[in-house]
């Protein structure tokens, strides 16, 4: 297992932002992963770092990264995937087997762990639709437990994992058989949509910035509030979709938070709606960063 100290994490995040991490682990097997969590209960567990903003101030603690936990298996319509398996790869592999249900993952850079944690979804599909069971590590008891879908408290961008007690080890899905041509056609449409509307990772970003409020779209509200015109020296709002922030080069976490607050205030002023961040902010926040974050999470 690779272990690194004073590790510059920004190049592993899709935002290309983040300072030095005191110590970082890259477990390669589930047993290594479980042993690490047992011994380092305070360590942050991260996947593909695609939905996170890590402070440019770094993190004076330990991080366990699941990117090497890539094991998966397909048995009939059942799919078993470790937490570090990348969503787009699993979408492709299941499509080749004529299995439908994970097509929405094709445009997500995230891993299974992060997608279950957030109950990720797009194009009318979400991960909880086809998930049947999860193998979890319970930090309170230091034991491995299994929980079925109805115990996982899934809701829009929510799951039981967000309470902090449980860490996903692997997830189990039951997909539906469908003609391969139909599945691949849906995947192509999803990719085309992403290409036309959302920034590619050549323009570093962390996906949707804000969650959709009830019965509305954050992108629509932001667009109507005029935020596409917001262009700061190192970050800007994406011109094809108002719910994305792009790192223009050497942006810091404070740059992103400053722009997020501008976007948040624009919608609040015009619609009296307070958007909630979808991006998770981690690391050793500066006083200014705490202030900015607390405006959106007061």
Give the residue from 245, 244, 218 showing the smallest Cα distance to 234: 245
Q: State if pTM tops 0.75.
A: yes
Q: Is 38 a catalytic residue?
A: no
Per-residue pLDDT at 150: 97
Give the residue from 26, 4, 111, 14 showing the smallest Cα distance to 54: 14
How far apart CA 182 and CA 136 sit, in angstroms, is: 33
Half-sphere exposure of 65 (CA within 13 A, CB side): 20
- 216-268 per-position pLDDT tens digit: 999 999 999 999 999 999 999 999 999 999 999 999 999 999 999 999 999 99
Q: What is the mean pLDDT of residues 76-98?
A: 97
Domain borders along the chain are: 2-65, 72-194, 218-296
Looking up tokens 């948040």, which residue turns up? 264
User: With respect to CATH, is domain 72-194 assigned 3.50.50.60?
Assistant: no
* 68 has a pLDDT exceeding 80: yes
Say which of 103, 115, 278, 289 is annotated catalytic.
278
Say which of 55, 157, 236, 254 is annotated catalytic.
157
Q: Is 278 a catalytic residue?
A: yes
Average pLDDT, the chain: 96
Per-residue pLDDT at 297: 86
Say which of 56, 208, 236, 289 is annotated catalytic.
208
Residue 94: strand, helix, or coil = helix
pLDDT band at 194 (very low <50, low <70, confident <90, very high): confident
CATH topology of domain 218-296: 3.90.78
**Contact of 252 with 260, CB cutoff 8 Å:** no
Which class in CATH covers the domain with range 2-65?
Answer: alpha beta
Per-residue pLDDT at 41: 87
- 9-20 per-position pLDDT tens digit: 999 999 999 999
How far apart CA 24 and CA 59 sit, in angstroms, is: 10
Q: What is the mean pLDDT of residues 86-96?
A: 96
* 203 has a pLDDT exceeding 90: yes
């Amino acid at each position: 297992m690779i272990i690194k100290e004073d590790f510059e994490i920004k190049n592993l995040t899709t935002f290309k932002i983040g300072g030095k991490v005191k110590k970082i682990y890259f477990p390669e097997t589930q047993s290594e992963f479980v042993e690490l969590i047992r011994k380092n209960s305070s360590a942050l567990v991260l996947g593909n770092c695609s939905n996170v903003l890590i402070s440019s101030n770094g993190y004076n603690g330990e991080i366990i990264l699941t990117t090497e936990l890539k094991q998966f298996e397909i048995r009939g319509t059942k799919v078993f995937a470790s937490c570090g398996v990348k969503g787009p790869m699993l979408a492709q592999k299941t499509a080749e087997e004529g299995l439908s249900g994970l097509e929405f993952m094709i445009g997500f850079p995230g891993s299974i762990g992060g997608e279950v944690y957030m109950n990720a979804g797009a194009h009318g599909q979400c991960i909880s639709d086809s998930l049947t069971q999860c193998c979890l590590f319970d930090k309170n008891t230091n034991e491995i437990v299994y929980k079925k879908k109805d115990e996982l408290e899934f809701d829009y961008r929510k799951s039981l994992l967000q309470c902090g007690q449980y860490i996903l080890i692997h997830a189990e899905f039951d997909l539906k058989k469908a003609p391969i041509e139909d599945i691949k056609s849906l995947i192509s449409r999803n990719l085309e949509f992403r290409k036309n509307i959302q920034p590619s990772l050549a323009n570093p970003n962390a996906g949707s910035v804000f969650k959709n409020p009830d019965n509305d779209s954050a992108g629509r509200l932001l667009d109507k509030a005029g935020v596409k015109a917001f262009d700061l020296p190192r970050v800007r709002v994406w011109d094809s979709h108002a719910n994305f922030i792009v790192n223009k080069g050497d942006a810091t976490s404070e740059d992103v938070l400053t722009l997020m607050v501008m976007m948040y205030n624009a919608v609040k002023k015009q619609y009296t709606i307070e958007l909630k961040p979808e991006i998770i902010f981690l690391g050793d926040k500066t006083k200014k960063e705490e202030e900015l974050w607390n405006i959106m999470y007061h």
